[in-house]
A and B are shown apart, each in its own frame.
Chain A
Amino acid sequence: MSAPRRSARPTPRVDEATRGAVVEVDRSDAATSTTRPRRWRFDALPYVLVAPVAIFIVGLALVPAAFTIIESFFTVDALDPPTRFTGLGNFVALFHNEAVRNSVGNTAFYVLVGVALSTVLGIGMAVLLQHPFRGRGVVIAILILPWALPGVVEGILWSGIFDPNSGLINGLVATLHLGAGNGVLLGQNHLLTLALIELVQVWQMTPLSTLLIFAALQLIPGEIYEAAVVDGANQWRSFMSITLPLARPGIAVAMVQALIATLNIFDQPYVLNGAASTGSSVTMETYFVSFQNLNFGQGYALSLVVALVTVALSLVVVRFVYRKVEL
């Protein structure tokens, strides 16, 4: 085996993080070099290359975000001009709005049940898919279909399934003589309504959770399981001591995406249950406040609250679930 060839000239080592600003010279080589260190020269190319994306992100994400934060402290009501500073007025008004308070409770239910259920189901399905089998690709392709459907389409599809007069579920309930005569009615019972709506969202979210966790599982070397078997570990012990700990990065990402989806749930309750208080979510109320009542200041405030809660809960998930895994 031949030794790597070494350049006669000192090799500049570029600090990637500060490329264009600093060029360091390998000092061990510099000691034997007769060449002078290269002169610092500003290189604009990286900045120019990054500029379009940076402008795009600043323009479409940061500027609207900053605008939302600022305007949430102003009365911005198309029917009550002019725009004026109101301090925490919008937040206080929202706190006193019964429909908003009710939607917060509903959304908390969606988050708790949705994140827990989609994560557990995602882990279960990912484990089932972990080992190759004939037709696994087809199964994965079919699995992803619910996730690929728009929320409104799903809402319409499930409203047909839940239809009290001609839907599949009530047809089954009637055929099997289950229920108390009226069948399963969305809107009749608060908890049942929330559960049925969230069931539809879990049906939609679980494929993505499965894929994220499945991707993490694919990185676990088979040798670790083989060693565990040699050490006498059964399947449950392997799952608890190998699969779950090593899949934590994937599980954390899956939980965060489920958290974001459930906190922002709109299509499913709106299509399945209309504006009824039994299922309304915070984002539905944001829509009503902003685009129905045209009170954009309160809409901004509610959006800001949702964004802050999303960030805070995501950080909690990352703090307690995520672990860096090096294999």
Chain B
Amino acid sequence: MKRKHPRVTRHGAAGLAGLTAIALLAAGCSAGGGGATASGSSSGTAGVTITVALPTDPPPAADLDAFTKQTGIKVTWASSDWDSLQTKISAAATANTYFADVTNVDWSRVGQLGKLGWFQPLEKYLDANALKADMPQLGSFTLGGHIVGVPYDSSYMVTTVNTDLFTKAGITTMPTTIDEYTNDLKQIKSKGVVEYPLNIPFAAAEGLSTYWYETTNAFGGTVLDASGKPQFTDPGSPGYKAAQWMVDAIKNGLVPPGNINVNDAQGEQTLMAQGMAASTFSDYSGLINSLYNVTDSSKVTGKIQYLPTPGVTGPAGNLSNPDGMGIPTQAKNPAAAAKFIEWFNSASTQEDFAGLNGQDKVWGSSFIPSRLSVVEKLSQAGSLADGAHLAAMLKTASPVFPQGAPTWYPTFSNAVYTNLHAAATGSMSVADAISAIAAVAKQQASNG
């Protein structure tokens, strides 16, 4: 039989083209009407599919399946790196369009997000008092009494030390003050144990700002007051002293010269984990479990210990640096999203993620649970390296900005890390760097 070739007729082609044009126009029109999605959001939950966009890999299927079985809500997980996720959140919110039902709320953006109303207040859906009682870092996500996000890990800044290198330098008692700590580092260097004992990530990135906040806290102060006024301009102020101490450390050879272009993650992986640095003053909680004790990526297994942050006269507190999750205003299924957040951050789920209930539900991206009760349980079970220290420090971990991060925090942080980086490279003095940072803070605070 002769095969008949399909033939596109003149009318057929015109029709196809016309349909495509209409479809494109319709798509354009519907995109423009994206603002209606909020009012069209669903309050029902069973049978609903929600999109969760976070800068981490998804939990094991067993976890998400358990949630679906429990609630009837299906989850589509969209992983993205932190930076591009923040851009997507801003772009979608500005365009008033739907992007995800649950997404990342970083502590540093709480001020911006709270003022802009880009996220729904979670006290509408969750028991705020119950959360507060067991989540010391909820304060970092609270602005004007509204909960913008719920922390899903309890990252906070800690001092880590390589006890092996300290011992080799003849140091048997760990330092409790910043002077003792500095002297010990000098001793490690002078005895030739390692050439550069201290890791400070001086690359112009957020990790440098965080390091300065924690060091300022150790020197007994804060960087901004409740109205956003800089507290670091006086050479005797903790913020100024912290900046000077950090820059002196690289100038005096305690920090590798190459660290001017090393960010926090690189410093952890190529210096601390390789045994090339003896200490990181402002490190991240949980790294002993997730990096330093992992034999594939570390040469210092079992040698790193958390140290209560050395302060002026004794151990200082720790600053919170947690990641949270919230519900964008344009979420299609806020009720279902709230159920997901409640489940994801419940004590039982956090125990699953941490491996207390078997290996099939362990979530690799979970560093330290945000619930104090779970951290204590893990510590008691012996499954959290140096857990006793961690649990104690978590109790006193406080937000970088107790009054909530200012709306202009990203601009401020940019000024902090670019100017401290410049001071570390020697292209500007500490005094000039501090002046430049203060000028930005004053200008932004006066703009409101």
A315 within 8 A of partner (CB): no
Q: How far is the CB of B229 from chain A (nearest CB, A)?
A: 19
Residue of B nearest to A274 (CB): B204
Q: Are B270 and A166 in contact (CB under 8 A)?
A: yes
**A288 vs B93: C-alpha distance when bound (angstroms):** 17
Q: How many residues belonging to B are interface residues under a CB distance threshold of 8 Å? A: 47
Cross-chain contact of B13 among A45, A78, A163, A274 (Cβ < 8 A) = A45
Residues of B within 8 A of A208 (CB): none
Say yes or no: is A10 at the interface (Cβ < 8 Å to chain B): no
A-B contacts, 28 of them at CB < 8 A, read A44-B14, A48-B18, A49-B17, A51-B18, A52-B20, A52-B21, A55-B24, A59-B28, A78-B90, A78-B93, A79-B408, A163-B270, A164-B256, A164-B258, A164-B261, A165-B262, A165-B270, A166-B270, A185-B261, A187-B260, A188-B260, A274-B261, A274-B263, A276-B204, A287-B87, A291-B91, A292-B410, A292-B411
Residues of chain A contacted by B90 (CB below 8 angstroms)? 78, 291, 294
B115 to chain A, nearest CB (A): 7
A52 to B24, CA, bound (A): 7
A182 beta carbon closer than 8 Å to chain B: yes
B309 at the interface (CB under 8 A from A): no
Determine if A296 is an interface residue (Cβ-Cβ < 8 Å): yes
- A187/B261 in contact, CB under 8 A: yes
- Within 8 Å of chain B (Cβ to Cβ): is A281? no
Q: Smallest distance from the beta carbon of B305 to chain A beta carbons, Å?
A: 23
Expressed in whole angstroms, the minimum distance between the Cβ of B12 and any Cβ of chain A is 11
Q: By the criterion CB–CB under 8 Å, are B258 and A276 in contact?
A: no
With an 8 A cutoff between CB atoms, is B257 at the interface? yes
Contacts of A183 in B (CB 8 A): 258
B203 and A187 form a contact (CB under 8 A):
yes
When chains A and B are docked, how far (Å) is the Cα of A127 from the Cα of B147? Answer: 64
A51 CB to closest chain B CB (Å) equals 4
Assess whether A277 is interfacial by the CB under 8 Å rule: yes
Q: With A182-B257, A274-B204, A291-B86 as given contacts, are A188 and B14 in contact (CB-CB < 8 Å)?
A: no
Cβ-closest 9 pairs across A and B:
A164-B258, A276-B204, A274-B204, A51-B21, A52-B20, A292-B410, A182-B257, A187-B261, A274-B205
Judge if B116 is at the interface, Cβ distance under 8 Å. Answer: yes
What residues of chain A lie closer than 8 Å to B116, measured between beta carbons? 78-79, 294
Contact with B along A52-63 (1 / 0, CB 8 A): 100110010000
For the complex, is B271 an interface residue (Cβ under 8 Å from A)? yes
Q: Known A-B contacts: A79-B408, A170-B258, A190-B427. Give 10 more (CB < 8 A).
A: A45-B10, A51-B21, A79-B116, A164-B260, A165-B256, A187-B204, A274-B263, A276-B418, A278-B427, A291-B90
Asked if A79 meets B112 with Cβ closer than 8 Å, knowing A51-B18, A59-B24, A164-B256, the reply is yes
Residue numbers in B under 8 Å from A45 (CB-CB) = 10, 13-14
Could you count the A-B residue pairs with CB atoms below 8 Å apart for me: how many are there? 119
Q: Is B211 engaged at the interface, CB distance under 8 Å to the other chain? A: no
Task: With A165-B271, A187-B203, A291-B90 as known contacts, state yes or no: A275 contacts B258, CB within 8 Å.
Answer: no
Inter-chain contacts of B217 with A (CB < 8 A): none
Given contacts A44-B14, A45-B13, A276-B203, contact A164 B411 (CB under 8 A): no
Which of B266, B407, B418 touches A277 (beta carbons < 8 Å)? B418
Closest to B267 in A: A165
Q: Does B50 contact A (CB under 8 A)?
A: no
B17 contacts A48, C-beta separation under 8 Å = yes
Mask for B416-448, Cβ within 8 A of A = 1, else 0?
011001100101000000000000000000010
Complex contacts, B417 vs chain A, CB 8 Å: 274-275
Asked if B414 is at the interface (CB within 8 A of a chain A CB), the reply is yes
Chain B residues lying within 8 Å of A79, measured Cβ to Cβ, are 112, 115-116, 407-408
Residues of chain B at the chain A interface (Cβ within 8 Å) = 10, 13-14, 17-18, 20-21, 24-25, 28, 86-87, 90-91, 93-94, 112, 115-116, 203-205, 256-263, 266, 270-271, 274, 276, 407-408, 410-411, 414, 417-418, 421-422, 425, 427, 447
Q: Assess the B258–A165 pair: CB atoms within 8 A.
A: yes
Q: Is the CB of B259 within 8 A of A164?
A: yes
CA–CA, A164 to B425, complex, Å?
14
Judged by a CB distance under 8 angstroms, whether A186 is at the interface is yes
Mask, A26-70, CB within 8 Å of B = 1, is 000000000000000000110011011001100100000000000
Which residue of the partner chain, among A186, A187, A275, A296, contacts B94 with CB atoms under 8 Å? A296
Looking at A162, A272, A276, which has the most chain B CB atoms within 10 Å of its CB? A276
Residue of A nearest to B27 (CB): A59
Closest to B428 in A: A277
A273 within 8 A of B: yes
A291 vs chain B, min Cβ distance (A): 5
Does the CB pair A56–B24 fall under 8 Å?
yes
Greatest chain A CB density within 10 A among B17, B28, B116 is at B17
Q: A79-B115, A165-B258 in contact; A275/B414 too (CB < 8 A)?
A: yes
**A56 to B27 alpha-carbon distance, docked (Å):** 11
Q: For residue A158, give the distance in angstroms from its CB to the closest CB of chain B.
A: 12
Of the candidates B25, B274, B410, B421, which one forms a contact with A276 in the assembled complex, judged by CB atoms under 8 Å apart? B421
Q: Give min CB distance, B251 to chain A, whole Å.
A: 12
Residues of B within 8 A of A78 (CB): 90, 93-94, 116
Neighbouring A residues of B418 by C-beta, 8 Å: 99, 275-277
For residues 93 through 127 of chain A, which have their beta carbon under 8 Å from a beta carbon of chain B? Answer: 99
Complex formed: what's the CA distance from A291 to B13 in Å?
43
| Chain B proximity mask over A177-204: 1 for CB below 8 Å, otherwise 0 | 0000011011110100000000000000
C-alpha spacing A50/B276, complex, angstroms: 64
Docked pose: A163 CA to B257 CA in angstroms: 12
Whose C-beta in chain A lies nearest to the C-beta of B88? A291
CA distance A277 to B260 in the complex (A): 13
